[in-house]
Structure 1
Amino acid sequence: MQFKNFVVCACAVACGLAASIGEARDLLRVGTEPTFAPFEFLNTKTKEYTGFDMDLIRAVGDKAGYDVEILNMGFDALVPAVMTGTIDVIAAGVSITPERQKRVDFTTPYYTSGLSMLIQKKNVEKFKTFDDLKNTNLAVQIGTTGAEKAKTIAGAKVSSFNTTSEAFMDLMSGNSDAVVLDRPVLAYYLKNQERAAKVLTIPPYIADAESFGFAVKKGNTELLQKLNKAYADLKASGEVDKIYSKWFQE
Protein backbone atom coordinates (compact mmCIF):
# COMPACT_ATOMS: atom_id res chain seq x y z
CA MET A 1 0.00 0.00 0.00
CA GLN A 2 2.80 2.32 0.95
CA PHE A 3 4.69 1.40 -2.24
CA LYS A 4 1.57 2.09 -4.30
CA ASN A 5 1.21 5.52 -2.69
CA PHE A 6 4.88 6.20 -3.39
CA VAL A 7 4.39 5.32 -7.06
CA VAL A 8 1.31 7.53 -7.28
CA CYS A 9 3.17 10.45 -5.65
CA ALA A 10 6.19 9.92 -7.88
CA CYS A 11 3.97 9.98 -10.96
CA ALA A 12 2.27 13.13 -9.74
CA VAL A 13 5.62 14.87 -9.20
CA ALA A 14 6.83 13.76 -12.63
CA CYS A 15 3.67 15.01 -14.27
CA GLY A 16 3.98 18.29 -12.40
CA LEU A 17 7.55 18.76 -13.57
CA ALA A 18 6.57 17.95 -17.13
CA ALA A 19 3.75 20.46 -16.97
CA SER A 20 5.99 23.17 -15.56
CA ILE A 21 8.59 22.47 -18.23
CA GLY A 22 5.90 22.66 -20.88
CA GLU A 23 4.79 26.03 -19.52
CA ALA A 24 8.31 27.52 -19.45
CA ARG A 25 8.50 30.67 -21.55
CA ASP A 26 11.32 31.87 -23.77
CA LEU A 27 13.27 34.93 -22.75
CA LEU A 28 12.98 38.08 -24.86
CA ARG A 29 16.14 40.16 -24.46
CA VAL A 30 15.26 43.80 -25.03
CA GLY A 31 17.97 46.41 -25.48
CA THR A 32 17.36 50.05 -24.57
CA GLU A 33 19.22 53.27 -23.80
CA PRO A 34 17.38 54.51 -20.68
CA THR A 35 17.96 58.25 -20.85
CA PHE A 36 15.15 59.06 -23.29
CA ALA A 37 12.24 60.01 -21.03
CA PRO A 38 9.30 59.59 -21.27
CA PHE A 39 10.02 56.61 -23.53
CA GLU A 40 12.68 54.90 -21.43
CA PHE A 41 14.51 55.95 -18.29
CA LEU A 42 15.68 54.63 -14.93
CA ASN A 43 13.32 55.14 -11.99
CA THR A 44 15.78 56.22 -9.30
CA LYS A 45 13.46 55.04 -6.51
CA THR A 46 12.63 51.55 -7.76
CA LYS A 47 15.84 51.12 -9.80
CA GLU A 48 13.71 49.75 -12.64
CA TYR A 49 13.60 50.79 -16.27
CA THR A 50 10.34 52.56 -16.94
CA GLY A 51 8.60 54.72 -19.54
CA PHE A 52 6.20 54.33 -22.46
CA ASP A 53 8.46 52.00 -24.46
CA MET A 54 9.21 49.87 -21.40
CA ASP A 55 5.55 49.43 -20.48
CA LEU A 56 4.61 48.68 -24.07
CA ILE A 57 7.36 46.16 -24.86
CA ARG A 58 6.69 44.34 -21.58
CA ALA A 59 3.00 44.11 -22.47
CA VAL A 60 3.71 43.05 -26.06
CA GLY A 61 6.34 40.53 -24.98
CA ASP A 62 4.05 39.03 -22.37
CA LYS A 63 1.17 38.82 -24.85
CA ALA A 64 3.48 37.07 -27.31
CA GLY A 65 4.39 34.51 -24.66
CA TYR A 66 7.80 35.75 -23.53
CA ASP A 67 9.47 36.70 -20.29
CA VAL A 68 11.02 40.11 -20.94
CA GLU A 69 14.51 41.11 -19.81
CA ILE A 70 15.59 44.75 -20.26
CA LEU A 71 19.27 45.36 -21.03
CA ASN A 72 20.97 48.76 -20.81
CA MET A 73 23.41 49.79 -23.55
CA GLY A 74 24.49 52.85 -25.51
CA PHE A 75 22.11 53.98 -28.26
CA ASP A 76 24.69 53.56 -31.00
CA ALA A 77 25.35 49.97 -29.83
CA LEU A 78 21.72 48.83 -30.12
CA VAL A 79 21.55 48.07 -33.84
CA PRO A 80 24.86 46.14 -33.87
CA ALA A 81 23.66 44.21 -30.79
CA VAL A 82 20.44 43.05 -32.45
CA MET A 83 22.28 42.28 -35.69
CA THR A 84 24.73 39.97 -33.87
CA GLY A 85 22.07 38.34 -31.69
CA THR A 86 23.25 39.82 -28.40
CA ILE A 87 19.68 41.09 -27.94
CA ASP A 88 16.41 40.11 -29.59
CA VAL A 89 14.60 43.45 -29.77
CA ILE A 90 15.40 47.15 -29.61
CA ALA A 91 12.92 49.28 -27.66
CA ALA A 92 14.45 52.73 -27.49
CA GLY A 93 12.32 55.28 -29.31
CA VAL A 94 13.93 54.20 -32.59
CA SER A 95 12.70 56.08 -35.64
CA ILE A 96 11.91 53.95 -38.69
CA THR A 97 14.23 55.31 -41.39
CA PRO A 98 15.23 53.89 -44.79
CA GLU A 99 18.85 53.64 -43.62
CA ARG A 100 17.94 51.64 -40.52
CA GLN A 101 15.58 49.43 -42.50
CA LYS A 102 18.59 48.20 -44.47
CA ARG A 103 20.04 46.77 -41.25
CA VAL A 104 17.05 45.69 -39.12
CA ASP A 105 13.35 44.86 -39.49
CA PHE A 106 10.77 47.04 -37.73
CA THR A 107 7.47 46.11 -36.15
CA THR A 108 4.22 47.94 -36.79
CA PRO A 109 4.81 51.63 -35.90
CA TYR A 110 3.55 52.36 -32.38
CA TYR A 111 4.20 56.11 -32.07
CA THR A 112 4.48 59.11 -34.38
CA SER A 113 6.82 61.86 -33.26
CA GLY A 114 8.57 64.90 -34.72
CA LEU A 115 11.74 66.88 -34.22
CA SER A 116 11.94 70.20 -32.43
CA MET A 117 14.47 72.22 -30.48
CA LEU A 118 15.10 73.23 -26.89
CA ILE A 119 16.44 76.77 -26.52
CA GLN A 120 16.94 79.42 -23.87
CA LYS A 121 13.88 81.60 -23.29
CA LYS A 122 15.88 84.72 -24.10
CA ASN A 123 16.27 83.38 -27.66
CA VAL A 124 12.61 82.60 -28.30
CA GLU A 125 12.29 85.31 -30.95
CA LYS A 126 15.67 84.50 -32.42
CA PHE A 127 15.21 80.76 -33.02
CA LYS A 128 11.76 79.88 -34.36
CA THR A 129 12.58 77.23 -36.97
CA PHE A 130 15.54 75.05 -37.87
CA ASP A 131 16.48 77.58 -40.55
CA ASP A 132 17.19 80.05 -37.75
CA LEU A 133 19.81 77.71 -36.32
CA LYS A 134 22.29 78.35 -39.12
CA ASN A 135 25.82 79.03 -37.87
CA THR A 136 24.94 78.16 -34.25
CA ASN A 137 26.25 75.63 -31.74
CA LEU A 138 23.97 72.60 -31.42
CA ALA A 139 23.85 69.75 -28.91
CA VAL A 140 22.52 66.30 -29.88
CA GLN A 141 22.44 62.70 -28.68
CA ILE A 142 24.62 60.31 -30.67
CA GLY A 143 22.76 58.12 -33.16
CA THR A 144 19.41 59.93 -33.06
CA THR A 145 17.51 61.45 -35.97
CA GLY A 146 17.96 64.77 -34.19
CA ALA A 147 21.69 64.34 -34.62
CA GLU A 148 21.22 63.62 -38.33
CA LYS A 149 19.01 66.69 -38.71
CA ALA A 150 21.54 68.92 -36.97
CA LYS A 151 24.19 67.89 -39.48
CA THR A 152 22.08 69.34 -42.31
CA ILE A 153 21.83 72.82 -40.76
CA ALA A 154 24.20 75.11 -42.62
CA GLY A 155 27.21 76.31 -40.66
CA ALA A 156 26.13 74.66 -37.42
CA LYS A 157 28.76 73.29 -35.07
CA VAL A 158 27.35 70.05 -33.67
CA SER A 159 28.42 68.58 -30.32
CA SER A 160 27.37 64.96 -29.83
CA PHE A 161 26.71 63.36 -26.44
CA ASN A 162 26.03 59.82 -25.27
CA THR A 163 22.88 60.80 -23.36
CA THR A 164 20.13 63.41 -23.64
CA SER A 165 20.90 64.70 -20.14
CA GLU A 166 24.43 65.59 -21.21
CA ALA A 167 23.06 67.50 -24.21
CA PHE A 168 20.61 69.37 -21.95
CA MET A 169 23.42 70.31 -19.55
CA ASP A 170 25.47 71.66 -22.44
CA LEU A 171 22.57 73.97 -23.32
CA MET A 172 22.01 75.00 -19.70
CA SER A 173 25.68 75.92 -19.35
CA GLY A 174 25.51 78.10 -22.45
CA ASN A 175 27.92 76.06 -24.54
CA SER A 176 25.23 75.39 -27.15
CA ASP A 177 22.37 77.43 -28.56
CA ALA A 178 19.87 74.57 -28.94
CA VAL A 179 19.28 70.86 -28.44
CA VAL A 180 17.74 69.16 -31.49
CA LEU A 181 15.67 66.16 -30.44
CA ASP A 182 12.23 64.53 -30.48
CA ARG A 183 9.62 66.99 -29.21
CA PRO A 184 7.99 64.69 -26.57
CA VAL A 185 11.39 64.06 -24.99
CA LEU A 186 12.06 67.79 -24.78
CA ALA A 187 8.61 68.43 -23.31
CA TYR A 188 8.99 65.70 -20.70
CA TYR A 189 12.36 67.10 -19.65
CA LEU A 190 10.93 70.58 -19.09
CA LYS A 191 7.92 69.17 -17.25
CA ASN A 192 10.14 67.39 -14.75
CA GLN A 193 13.04 69.82 -14.39
CA GLU A 194 11.84 72.91 -12.57
CA ARG A 195 15.19 74.71 -12.78
CA ALA A 196 15.50 74.08 -16.51
CA ALA A 197 11.90 75.16 -17.16
CA LYS A 198 12.72 78.61 -15.77
CA VAL A 199 15.45 79.09 -18.35
CA LEU A 200 14.58 76.91 -21.34
CA THR A 201 11.61 76.59 -23.71
CA ILE A 202 10.43 74.78 -26.85
CA PRO A 203 9.24 76.83 -29.85
CA PRO A 204 5.89 75.71 -31.35
CA TYR A 205 7.74 74.16 -34.25
CA ILE A 206 7.75 70.51 -35.33
CA ALA A 207 9.59 69.09 -38.34
CA ASP A 208 10.18 65.72 -39.92
CA ALA A 209 7.32 63.68 -38.48
CA GLU A 210 8.59 60.16 -37.92
CA SER A 211 7.31 56.85 -36.60
CA PHE A 212 8.86 54.72 -33.86
CA GLY A 213 8.99 50.94 -34.06
CA PHE A 214 10.59 48.03 -32.21
CA ALA A 215 13.49 46.56 -34.18
CA VAL A 216 14.51 42.92 -34.61
CA LYS A 217 17.28 41.16 -36.51
CA LYS A 218 16.92 41.38 -40.28
CA GLY A 219 15.04 38.32 -41.51
CA ASN A 220 13.70 37.26 -38.11
CA THR A 221 10.19 36.93 -39.52
CA GLU A 222 8.91 34.60 -36.79
CA LEU A 223 9.64 37.04 -33.96
CA LEU A 224 8.45 40.00 -36.00
CA GLN A 225 5.08 38.34 -36.68
CA LYS A 226 4.66 37.38 -33.02
CA LEU A 227 5.31 40.94 -31.85
CA ASN A 228 3.02 42.45 -34.48
CA LYS A 229 0.23 40.02 -33.59
CA ALA A 230 0.60 40.77 -29.89
CA TYR A 231 0.59 44.52 -30.54
CA ALA A 232 -2.52 44.26 -32.71
CA ASP A 233 -4.33 42.29 -30.00
CA LEU A 234 -3.36 44.81 -27.31
CA LYS A 235 -4.42 47.67 -29.57
CA ALA A 236 -7.80 46.07 -30.18
CA SER A 237 -8.36 45.46 -26.46
CA GLY A 238 -7.61 49.07 -25.56
CA GLU A 239 -4.47 48.20 -23.56
CA VAL A 240 -2.18 50.20 -25.86
CA ASP A 241 -4.35 53.29 -25.39
CA LYS A 242 -4.17 52.86 -21.60
CA ILE A 243 -0.38 52.75 -21.71
CA TYR A 244 -0.32 55.77 -24.03
CA SER A 245 -2.58 57.80 -21.71
CA LYS A 246 -0.29 57.03 -18.78
CA TRP A 247 2.64 58.84 -20.40
CA PHE A 248 1.24 61.43 -22.79
CA GLN A 249 -1.25 64.25 -22.41
CA GLU A 250 -1.45 65.18 -26.09
Structure 2
Amino acid sequence: MFNRRHVLGGGAALALSGGTALAQGQTLRVGSTPTGIPFTFLDTSRNTITGFMVELITEIGRRQGFAVDVQATPFAALIASLTSSRIDLIAAAMLATPARREQIDFSDPVYAYGEGVAVREGEQRPWRSLADMRGVAAGAQIGTVYIEPLRAAGLDVRTYDSVADIMRDVSLGRIAAGFGDAPIVSYQIAQGTFRGVRLLPEYRPSIVGSIAIGTRKGDPVMARINAGLASMKADGAFTALVTKWNLPPSAA
Protein backbone atom coordinates (compact mmCIF):
# COMPACT_ATOMS: atom_id res chain seq x y z
CA MET A 1 0.00 0.00 0.00
CA PHE A 2 1.35 3.39 -0.94
CA ASN A 3 2.27 5.56 2.04
CA ARG A 4 1.69 9.28 1.63
CA ARG A 5 3.56 10.24 4.77
CA HIS A 6 6.92 11.94 4.38
CA VAL A 7 9.62 9.32 4.05
CA LEU A 8 13.23 9.99 4.99
CA GLY A 9 15.92 8.58 2.73
CA GLY A 10 19.67 9.22 2.96
CA GLY A 11 19.05 11.59 5.86
CA ALA A 12 16.85 13.94 3.82
CA ALA A 13 13.10 14.23 3.38
CA LEU A 14 12.09 13.28 -0.14
CA ALA A 15 8.40 14.11 0.12
CA LEU A 16 6.74 16.07 -2.67
CA SER A 17 4.07 18.63 -1.80
CA GLY A 18 0.67 18.97 -3.40
CA GLY A 19 0.30 15.40 -4.66
CA THR A 20 1.90 12.00 -4.30
CA ALA A 21 4.65 11.96 -1.69
CA LEU A 22 7.09 9.76 -3.58
CA ALA A 23 10.42 8.66 -2.18
CA GLN A 24 13.02 6.34 -3.61
CA GLY A 25 11.82 2.73 -3.55
CA GLN A 26 8.16 3.46 -2.83
CA THR A 27 5.34 1.64 -4.57
CA LEU A 28 2.56 3.25 -6.63
CA ARG A 29 -0.75 1.50 -7.32
CA VAL A 30 -1.36 1.33 -11.06
CA GLY A 31 -4.82 0.79 -12.53
CA SER A 32 -4.80 -1.31 -15.70
CA THR A 33 -7.65 -3.06 -17.49
CA PRO A 34 -7.74 -6.88 -17.77
CA THR A 35 -9.22 -6.84 -21.30
CA GLY A 36 -7.09 -4.41 -23.35
CA ILE A 37 -4.66 -6.82 -25.01
CA PRO A 38 -1.91 -6.09 -26.10
CA PHE A 39 -1.78 -2.89 -24.01
CA THR A 40 -3.08 -4.37 -20.74
CA PHE A 41 -4.63 -7.78 -20.09
CA LEU A 42 -4.90 -10.61 -17.60
CA ASP A 43 -2.30 -13.34 -18.11
CA THR A 44 -4.35 -16.27 -16.84
CA SER A 45 -1.31 -18.55 -16.60
CA ARG A 46 0.15 -16.27 -13.91
CA ASN A 47 -3.03 -14.48 -12.80
CA THR A 48 -1.34 -11.11 -13.28
CA ILE A 49 -1.99 -8.07 -15.45
CA THR A 50 0.60 -7.63 -18.21
CA GLY A 51 0.95 -5.98 -21.62
CA PHE A 52 2.69 -3.08 -23.35
CA MET A 53 1.52 -0.34 -20.94
CA VAL A 54 2.27 -2.49 -17.88
CA GLU A 55 5.82 -3.18 -19.02
CA LEU A 56 6.21 0.50 -19.93
CA ILE A 57 5.23 1.87 -16.51
CA THR A 58 7.25 -0.85 -14.78
CA GLU A 59 10.39 0.16 -16.68
CA ILE A 60 9.71 3.86 -16.12
CA GLY A 61 9.44 3.13 -12.42
CA ARG A 62 12.68 1.16 -12.44
CA ARG A 63 14.48 4.06 -14.07
CA GLN A 64 12.90 6.66 -11.79
CA GLY A 65 13.21 4.84 -8.49
CA PHE A 66 9.70 3.61 -7.73
CA ALA A 67 7.96 0.25 -7.89
CA VAL A 68 4.46 -0.46 -9.19
CA ASP A 69 1.60 -2.57 -7.90
CA VAL A 70 -0.63 -3.23 -10.92
CA GLN A 71 -4.31 -3.62 -10.05
CA ALA A 72 -7.00 -4.91 -12.40
CA THR A 73 -9.52 -2.10 -12.90
CA PRO A 74 -12.47 -1.94 -15.33
CA PHE A 75 -11.95 0.73 -17.97
CA ALA A 76 -15.04 2.71 -16.97
CA ALA A 77 -13.78 2.85 -13.35
CA LEU A 78 -10.21 3.99 -14.02
CA ILE A 79 -10.65 7.74 -13.64
CA ALA A 80 -12.94 7.45 -10.62
CA SER A 81 -10.46 5.09 -8.97
CA LEU A 82 -7.64 7.56 -9.58
CA THR A 83 -9.43 10.69 -8.40
CA SER A 84 -10.65 8.88 -5.25
CA SER A 85 -7.07 7.68 -4.51
CA ARG A 86 -7.85 3.98 -4.80
CA ILE A 87 -5.02 3.92 -7.37
CA ASP A 88 -2.14 6.33 -8.00
CA LEU A 89 -1.62 5.99 -11.76
CA ILE A 90 -3.49 4.87 -14.86
CA ALA A 91 -1.50 2.81 -17.35
CA ALA A 92 -3.98 1.54 -19.92
CA ALA A 93 -5.19 2.12 -23.46
CA MET A 94 -6.78 5.44 -22.44
CA LEU A 95 -6.82 8.29 -24.95
CA ALA A 96 -5.84 11.65 -23.47
CA THR A 97 -8.96 13.54 -24.55
CA PRO A 98 -9.83 17.15 -23.59
CA ALA A 99 -12.74 15.93 -21.45
CA ARG A 100 -10.50 13.54 -19.52
CA ARG A 101 -7.85 16.24 -19.12
CA GLU A 102 -10.41 18.23 -17.15
CA GLN A 103 -10.41 15.44 -14.55
CA ILE A 104 -6.83 14.14 -14.51
CA ASP A 105 -3.35 14.92 -15.86
CA PHE A 106 -1.71 12.95 -18.67
CA SER A 107 1.92 12.28 -19.47
CA ASP A 108 3.58 13.08 -22.75
CA PRO A 109 2.00 11.03 -25.56
CA VAL A 110 2.84 7.33 -25.53
CA TYR A 111 1.21 5.88 -28.66
CA ALA A 112 -1.37 7.16 -31.16
CA TYR A 113 -4.15 5.28 -32.96
CA GLY A 114 -7.80 5.49 -33.98
CA GLU A 115 -10.86 3.27 -34.06
CA GLY A 116 -11.06 -0.01 -35.90
CA VAL A 117 -14.25 -1.58 -37.27
CA ALA A 118 -14.82 -5.31 -36.99
CA VAL A 119 -17.48 -7.02 -39.08
CA ARG A 120 -18.73 -10.57 -39.45
CA GLU A 121 -16.71 -12.76 -41.80
CA GLY A 122 -18.36 -12.54 -45.20
CA GLU A 123 -19.64 -9.00 -44.69
CA GLN A 124 -19.08 -7.18 -47.98
CA ARG A 125 -20.46 -3.68 -47.45
CA PRO A 126 -17.72 -1.17 -48.45
CA TRP A 127 -17.56 0.97 -45.32
CA ARG A 128 -14.60 3.32 -45.55
CA SER A 129 -15.61 5.92 -42.95
CA LEU A 130 -18.30 6.78 -40.42
CA ALA A 131 -20.11 8.71 -43.16
CA ASP A 132 -20.81 5.41 -44.91
CA MET A 133 -22.40 3.81 -41.84
CA ARG A 134 -25.46 5.90 -40.99
CA GLY A 135 -28.20 3.70 -39.52
CA VAL A 136 -25.89 0.72 -38.97
CA ALA A 137 -26.30 -1.20 -35.70
CA ALA A 138 -22.88 -0.99 -34.05
CA GLY A 139 -21.31 -1.77 -30.70
CA ALA A 140 -18.89 0.29 -28.57
CA GLN A 141 -17.46 -0.21 -25.09
CA ILE A 142 -18.83 1.77 -22.16
CA GLY A 143 -16.45 4.53 -21.09
CA THR A 144 -14.64 4.83 -24.44
CA VAL A 145 -14.43 7.94 -26.63
CA TYR A 146 -16.26 6.27 -29.50
CA ILE A 147 -19.87 6.30 -28.31
CA GLU A 148 -20.80 9.95 -28.85
CA PRO A 149 -19.06 10.37 -32.25
CA LEU A 150 -20.78 7.21 -33.51
CA ARG A 151 -24.16 8.50 -32.38
CA ALA A 152 -23.45 11.89 -33.93
CA ALA A 153 -22.67 10.14 -37.22
CA GLY A 154 -26.11 8.49 -37.15
CA LEU A 155 -25.18 4.95 -36.13
CA ASP A 156 -27.49 2.85 -33.96
CA VAL A 157 -25.08 2.41 -31.04
CA ARG A 158 -25.33 -0.45 -28.53
CA THR A 159 -23.01 -0.25 -25.50
CA TYR A 160 -21.07 -3.15 -23.99
CA ASP A 161 -18.90 -3.86 -20.97
CA SER A 162 -16.00 -5.28 -23.00
CA VAL A 163 -14.62 -5.58 -26.52
CA ALA A 164 -15.04 -9.36 -26.26
CA ASP A 165 -18.80 -8.89 -25.76
CA ILE A 166 -18.91 -6.64 -28.82
CA MET A 167 -17.07 -9.15 -31.00
CA ARG A 168 -19.36 -11.96 -29.85
CA ASP A 169 -22.43 -10.04 -31.01
CA VAL A 170 -20.75 -9.14 -34.31
CA SER A 171 -19.93 -12.78 -34.98
CA LEU A 172 -23.50 -13.82 -34.13
CA GLY A 173 -24.99 -11.14 -36.38
CA ARG A 174 -26.71 -9.28 -33.54
CA ILE A 175 -24.95 -6.08 -34.63
CA ALA A 176 -23.38 -5.29 -38.00
CA ALA A 177 -20.18 -3.65 -36.76
CA GLY A 178 -18.06 -3.47 -33.65
CA PHE A 179 -15.88 -0.49 -32.79
CA GLY A 180 -12.75 -0.62 -30.68
CA ASP A 181 -9.15 0.51 -30.46
CA ALA A 182 -7.68 -0.63 -33.78
CA PRO A 183 -4.45 -2.16 -32.36
CA ILE A 184 -6.38 -4.07 -29.69
CA VAL A 185 -8.97 -5.50 -32.08
CA SER A 186 -6.37 -6.29 -34.74
CA TYR A 187 -4.07 -8.06 -32.27
CA GLN A 188 -6.81 -10.22 -30.81
CA ILE A 189 -8.19 -11.23 -34.21
CA ALA A 190 -4.66 -12.21 -35.30
CA GLN A 191 -4.23 -14.23 -32.11
CA GLY A 192 -7.49 -16.10 -32.73
CA THR A 193 -9.17 -14.65 -29.66
CA PHE A 194 -12.05 -13.18 -31.65
CA ARG A 195 -13.45 -15.72 -34.10
CA GLY A 196 -15.88 -15.18 -36.92
CA VAL A 197 -14.97 -11.51 -37.38
CA ARG A 198 -12.50 -9.51 -39.42
CA LEU A 199 -11.19 -5.95 -39.28
CA LEU A 200 -12.07 -3.72 -42.24
CA PRO A 201 -8.69 -2.85 -43.83
CA GLU A 202 -10.17 -0.12 -46.00
CA TYR A 203 -11.78 1.76 -43.11
CA ARG A 204 -10.09 5.06 -42.22
CA PRO A 205 -10.44 6.14 -38.58
CA SER A 206 -11.75 9.58 -37.69
CA ILE A 207 -11.39 9.44 -33.88
CA VAL A 208 -7.59 9.47 -33.60
CA GLY A 209 -5.76 10.29 -30.39
CA SER A 210 -2.82 9.37 -28.19
CA ILE A 211 -2.81 7.20 -25.11
CA ALA A 212 -0.82 8.39 -22.12
CA ILE A 213 -0.20 7.63 -18.46
CA GLY A 214 -2.63 9.33 -16.08
CA THR A 215 -2.09 10.91 -12.67
CA ARG A 216 -4.18 13.01 -10.31
CA LYS A 217 -4.27 16.72 -11.07
CA GLY A 218 -1.05 18.43 -10.04
CA ASP A 219 0.70 15.25 -8.91
CA PRO A 220 4.46 15.95 -9.10
CA VAL A 221 5.18 12.30 -9.91
CA MET A 222 4.34 13.27 -13.50
CA ALA A 223 7.81 14.81 -13.90
CA ARG A 224 9.39 11.44 -13.17
CA ILE A 225 7.04 9.63 -15.52
CA ASN A 226 7.82 11.99 -18.40
CA ALA A 227 11.56 11.76 -17.68
CA GLY A 228 11.44 7.97 -17.69
CA LEU A 229 9.39 7.87 -20.89
CA ALA A 230 11.79 10.27 -22.61
CA SER A 231 14.81 8.20 -21.62
CA MET A 232 13.18 5.02 -22.98
CA LYS A 233 12.47 6.73 -26.31
CA ALA A 234 16.01 8.10 -26.47
CA ASP A 235 17.85 4.81 -25.91
CA GLY A 236 15.62 2.55 -28.03
CA ALA A 237 13.90 0.71 -25.18
CA PHE A 238 10.53 2.13 -26.18
CA THR A 239 10.87 0.99 -29.79
CA ALA A 240 11.90 -2.47 -28.60
CA LEU A 241 8.78 -2.67 -26.47
CA VAL A 242 6.57 -1.66 -29.43
CA THR A 243 8.18 -4.41 -31.50
CA LYS A 244 7.82 -7.01 -28.72
CA TRP A 245 4.06 -6.43 -28.56
CA ASN A 246 3.60 -6.40 -32.36
CA LEU A 247 2.14 -2.91 -32.43
CA PRO A 248 1.90 -1.14 -35.80
CA PRO A 249 3.68 2.21 -36.18
CA SER A 250 2.11 4.95 -34.09
CA ALA A 251 -0.35 7.16 -35.96
CA ALA A 252 1.29 10.29 -34.52
Q: TM-score under structure 1 normalisation? A: 0.85
- Report the alpha carbon displacement of residue 74 of structure 1 after superposing the two structures with TM: 1.4
Shift in Å at residue 151 of structure 1?
Answer: 2.3
**What residue is the counterpart of 1:136 in the other structure?**
136
User: Judging changes above 3 Å, is the alpha-carbon distance between structure 1 residues 49 and 83 closer, same or farther for their aligned structure 2 residues?
Assistant: same
2:97 aligned with 1:106, yes or no? no
Structure 1 residues 166 and 199: CA distance shift in structure 2, 3 A: closer
Q: Percent identity?
A: 27
Kindly state the Cα deviation for residue 195 of structure 1 after the two structures are TM-superposed: 6.7
- Which runs of structure 2 are paired with 1:67-86 in the superposition (5 Å)? 67-86=67-86
**Which residue pairs with 2:187 in the alignment?**
188
Match of 2:202 in 1: 204
Runs of 4+ in 1 over 4 A off after TM superposition: none
Q: State how 1:82-231 maps to structure 2 within 5 Å.
A: 82-154=82-154, 156-193=155-192, 196=195, 199-207=197-205, 208-220=207-219, 222-231=220-229
TM-score scaled by length of structure 2: 0.84
1:235 aligns with 2:227: no
Offset of 1:209 from its aligned partner? 2.0
Any conservation in 2 of the 1:121–1:201 contact (CA below 8 Å)? no
The structure whose Rg is larger is 1
Q: How many residues are paired up?
A: 228
Deviation string for 1:137-175 (max 9, x for gaps)? Answer: 111111112233322221x22111111111111111111
> Which whole-Å deviations, capped at 9, do the CAs of 1:23-62 have from their partners, x for residues lacking one?
9711111001120111111112222212111111111122
Write the distance in 1 (CA, Å) between the matches of 2:185 and 2:85: 32
Give the distance between the partners of 2:34 and 2:136, measured in 1 at CA.
28
The 10-residue stretch of structure 1 (203-212 or 180-189) with the greater mean CA deviation from structure 2: 203-212
Q: What is the letter of the counterpart of residue 162 of structure 2?
A: T
1:201 Cα deviation after fit: 3.2
Q: Is 1:62 the equivalent of 2:59?
A: no
The 10-residue stretch of structure 1 (41-50 or 92-101) with the greater mean CA deviation from structure 2: 41-50
SS in structure 2 at match of 1:124: coil
Q: Secondary structure at the match of 2:146?
A: helix
Equivalent-residue separation in structure 1 for 2:126 and 2:96 (angstroms): 31
Instruction: Report which of the two has the higher share of helix.
Output: 1
Once superposed, what is the RMSD of the aligned Cα atoms?
Answer: 2.0
Change (3 A) 1:218 1:132: same
Tell me if the contact between 2:116 and 2:199 (Cα under 8 Å) persists in the aligned partners: no
